[in-house]
Structure 1
Amino acid sequence: MERRKILIIGGGIAGAACAWALTERRMGEVLVLEREDQLGSQATAQNAGILRTLTNHPATTALALETAAFLAAPPPGFCSVPLVNPVGLALIPRTVAPAAIHAWRQRKAPGRVSTPDAASLAALLPHYRGERKGAIFVHDEGHIDTAALFEGFVRGARRGGARFETGVRVIEILRGPNGVGGVLLEGGRELSADVVVIAAGGWAGPLARAAGSNLTFEARRRHLLVTAADDAVDKAWPVVWSEPDAFYAKPESGGLMICVCDEDPVDPDHCTPRPEVRELVAQRASEVLAGQGEARAAHFWAGLRTFSDDGGFTIGFDADVRGLFWVAGLGGHGMSTSLGVGRAAAALLCNAKLEPNLERALSPARFFGAPA
């Protein structure tokens, strides 16, 4: 196999997982560039850390299922703590087609998915009073230890020879007669590469324009709130995610992490919280959760989620710019699909094939009617 120099822009969960998977394959020289002074300080650090494998995109679901298996049984030496706390996930879906739910259930291990009646759901979620119709309970999903997972990818990638640089900003993607040839950093330093991988989360859109790609991505803001510690909150409560209520909540730091699934387009360089959304979160919590009418906020923040034009992941070589590779548009699922995303990207970078339907669903060529 030809060994190439691969430069990854973005030191978050997508870039780290991709670097780890490339070193797993002994692909070549791998260098990860992160614009911030610390790895994983943007969307990765803001992630809610929920393991949910059923989504409204079959490709995302497939990568999440692959990742869930890895989280349950990581390879020796990857981490020293469990990567998932399977408190359970109570999901009330609305956007997922019945056929997709059936296909997903077929891939789950026997006994891992149940359909609770109203009394059973009330016992599992004594604090929840939102929509219950059509609820699914997933017994082996719950909380991801996001820090341990991210650190495992970074540590493993470094052990495999990958290098990471922080505090470096890419201001131009260099192109030559044969396609992409490297990047220009702020300060004038040039780095050569055979392949440039864009795994930069919310900055995928600006980098696409800088590279001359025809792909477009949109960064969107979503708010999360953690309530002050409360003795009435049981840390063993399952995660509850109600799509009809546009709401999810889980125990966190003695209180509850709450999200109203809001989103609005945002400049990734200016993703600050909107105070009015804090009021919306408090109002929705009082409607859906018992005892939260007067809950105080201990922490309130806005995170970044990035989307392609059709809402699906974009993983693969650019259709127009030779040597440019995408790991982008993960739409907030980067943590729960990280292993699957990293291994899919590494396989394609090695010119290996994925399952045909998965490869077509991920391919950048799908936006232009070209074959994957």
Structure 2
Amino acid sequence: PNALPEEQRTPAWHRFLAQYRSYMQIVLVAAAIVSLVIQEWTTAILLIVLTLLNAVVGLRQEGKAESAMNALKSMMKATARVRRDGREAEIPAEQLVDGDVVLISAGDQVPADGRLIEASALQIDESALTGESVPAAKETGPLQGTGLSPGDQTNTAFMNTPVTHGSGLMIVTATGADTELGKISGMLSATEKEVPPLTKELDRLTLWITGAAGLTMIVMFALGRQRDQAWDVLFVSAVSLAIAAIPEALPTVTQAILSVGSLNLAKRSAIVKELPSVETLAFTSAINSDKTGTLTMNQMTAVEVLSPTDRYTVSGTGYGLEGKVHHAAGSAAGIEDAILPYVVASDAKLVGGAVVGDPTEGALLVLAHKAGLDTDA
């Protein structure tokens, strides 16, 4: 299928055991085993139940995040307009193969990598691949040289890049993992995962607590032997003291707090796959961006209109339709004559508060709405 390779699903038992990788879980299991050895049955059962609770909470949260991700994927089924047997048809993008002839126009997502054979004022937003915030103009002529970067391949359209202007015809040359996006996806999956800051801090704290408990046990044992106390009584007392020094509820409390954080993020349309990521996001104080400022909202706003005889100021920000046109100078009856050509020549559309098409044309459509024009008509 023409789809990016999905991460192989980890078996449930493997994910359950992975919950026992943290130092605190390991210490709690060790403490439970020692409690069984010294026949502290109640303590042993309590510790085992706590470790199981910690594991189940973590596993359940990961499962909820995975279900949400799968639901999002199922909602985002892409389609492609193809020309097969001399007729146009719309098919699921997953069914594209090399050699398919695909039609693309403003508002479409390019469904695969392909060589352009027709391009009419075609512009494609390739910021995800190149970092350039300005849409790339496309043409059909041959290129000079080999091994060119995606930004220099002006006669090629790349998978999952949005068409902002014009239309074109392309022949599919790569699908799925063989596309430029697929190569990036492969590199990301090969990247070694880092341990989240919170996990590092909890592991460090666990080591300090374990070390302090162990030192206390040794000191207590030595002082007891100086007073000629029995070996077995000393051992049980020292181990009990060490177990008492371990904050058994710490993982459970941490999981509960992170779960609340993940719910708050979900309310703001952000899904975290692993619970410690909640703290990692909260720990972020700055995001560094390159000179192109790709991490902007990518929204433009018309704030002033000048004609040979009149001047208008416009309120509002972004693509929101809230705002008014104020006639600051001149004697014209209205702004319609000044902005009508921009609306007639626009390929963009306003859909649910978002612009489909060129950002500049989208800003001019919003301006027309504020001026009271029926843009569809």
TM-score normalised per structure 1: 0.21
Higher relative contact order (CA 8 A, sep 6+): 1
State the TM-score, normalized to the length of structure 2.
0.21
| Structure with the larger strand share | 1
Judging by fraction of residues, say which structure has more helix: 2
Bigger radius of gyration, 1 or 2?
2
